Amino acid sequence: MTGSSALMAIGHILMCYTLFFSFHANKALGYGATMVESNKSHAPPSCSGTTTGLRVVHKYGPCSPSGLKKTSAVASQILAKDKLRVRAINSRLHNRRTIGLEGQGTTDTYLQNDLPGAGTFWVSVGFGTPLKDFNLVLDTGSYVTWVQCEPCTESPCPQQQNPSLYYPSFSSTSSNAPCSPLCNYTQAYFDKSTSGGVFVLDTVSIGQDYQIPEFIFLCADKKIGDFDGAHGILGLGPASSGDEFANYSLATQTANLFGRVFCHCLPSSGNSGYVYFGEKAREQCPFSGTYTRLLRNPVFGASYYFVNLIAITLGQKKVEVPSGIFSSSQGTIIDSGTVITHLPFSVYSELSQEFDRLMSEFPPANPSDDGVLKACYNLADQDNLAIPEMVLHFENLDVNLDQTAVTWKGNDNMSQVCFAFAAKEDEEDVTIIGNHQQQKLNMLFNIPDQRLEIGPERKDPFSLGPQTITLRWRNKPQVSLKPQTVRFRGHSGYSHITPAFYMGNPLTPYPAMIQHDRTRLDHDAKQVEMH
């Protein structure tokens, strides 16, 4: 058998394995529903990091440094804190709150930063020289980055350092930020916590490839309240040009380096995701070019990532979003800091009724403790569930949600599984697409071009294991091949997959790459015997 024939045979074998796996792992129950295993053991978590971006972890997942677990009590706390964040966002957008700025009296200028919330997704960012890593909440609803710190107020400065604090005096590259427009700040929150501090400049490291000198961030030396173990916030929000803090945003400060472009994939609790910036974002999160516009709200400007949500489909029922919602004081924002998606009451009502109809064979369960999630069911004894499929229809872009984004588990035994959407408290409030619905999606934010591209996460269509490919055939020496480049081209499903192999000398090691639906994963291949 020639080398090309062997490679063709490998292609056929991998093709059959891929189609077999995809058929059984994603067996459809009918139009608008997908079979998922609810009480089965799951694969080990994938917590590998990235050198060109930031690894994103779920605060309550096995990849998180927090050590926290999502119990039923924690699930209730998450929703309670999420309600506070939603109220804070709407309060700020509607200009119903002010903060005091030290040295300047009381003003109606607010600092859009560190909204109260559950802080679900964390990244590790390095500060100072020598480098010290801190766990920050990933937040597209804030645009100023801050880290908890301890400025030196004595001479000499104490040598003992708290590992969870940033010490400006111990960094050789730290300096005071110019006090224009602001130097000191203080802020209070709905959950009775407060924060305060000063702006400083220091070197910030994004992954292993990027060091940003003289980056301006908040050194929070006054913090009272529950921030859940995170050391601060990485603000990825789009600073509005009219905001006096706009020049302090990460997007603005790194515009020459990253071009105000980034991509993130928020993981499920069992795995890790990623954030990439600039050209790496374009390379790692490539799409077909279909996008929805990032909009400037007629009332609120570009203070958040506003989009035009047109409709939502649940199963076979499509519910239209009122067309005038964006031209008023409302609109729809994409926010990684909010957990649950909040919809106009009319939209939520129709969707929840349809969810109830589709889940009617299961016994009902109590609503969530805070009353946010109302359509809940007891699925404790169910091995396989028919979770309705869901699609968000944006202007020019349809987004298929992962099945885990449709429901919210109140506990591990599945005795309380709820429809993971809520109605807005006030019809004047904005519609918010929360992070629970963003999980397992590639989201590319292009601020200069005002584009948001959304596609499926980078998936491994099948597991090949950490081995090499071994070719054996009669009357020929055995040849062991190191991992090679394998490309799969096709749709987001597993139909119409055409494998193509690219190899040089078969005895030369090659980096492994699996490309599927414009996504890439590093893997090794396993033994294949040819006769």
Task: Write out the catalytic residue numbers.
Answer: 139, 335
Helix (H, G, I), strand (E, B) or coil at 31: coil
| Unique residue bearing structure tokens 């980034």 | 262
Q: 């989201």: which residue's tokens?
A: 443
Query: What is the C-alpha to C-alpha distance for residues 436 and 97, in angstroms, rounded to an integer?
Result: 27
Residues 6 or more apart in contact with residue 4 via CB below 8 angstroms: none
**Distance separating alpha carbons of residues 492 and 508, to the nearest angstrom:** 32
State the amino acid at position 183 in one-letter form: C
Using CB atoms within 10 Å of the CB of residue 256, give its burial: 0 to 12 exposed, 13 to 18 middle, 19+ buried.
exposed
Do residues 120 and 339 touch, judged by C-beta distance below 8 A? yes
Query: 191, 116 in Cβ contact below 8 A?
Result: yes
**Beta strands in 350-484, from DSSP E residues, in sequence order:** 376-377, 384-388, 390-394, 397-400, 407-409, 417-419, 421-423, 431-433, 441-446, 451-456, 469-471, 479-481
* Proportion of the chain in helix, strand, coil states, percent, rounded to 5: 15, 35, 50
Tokens encoding 188? 């209070």
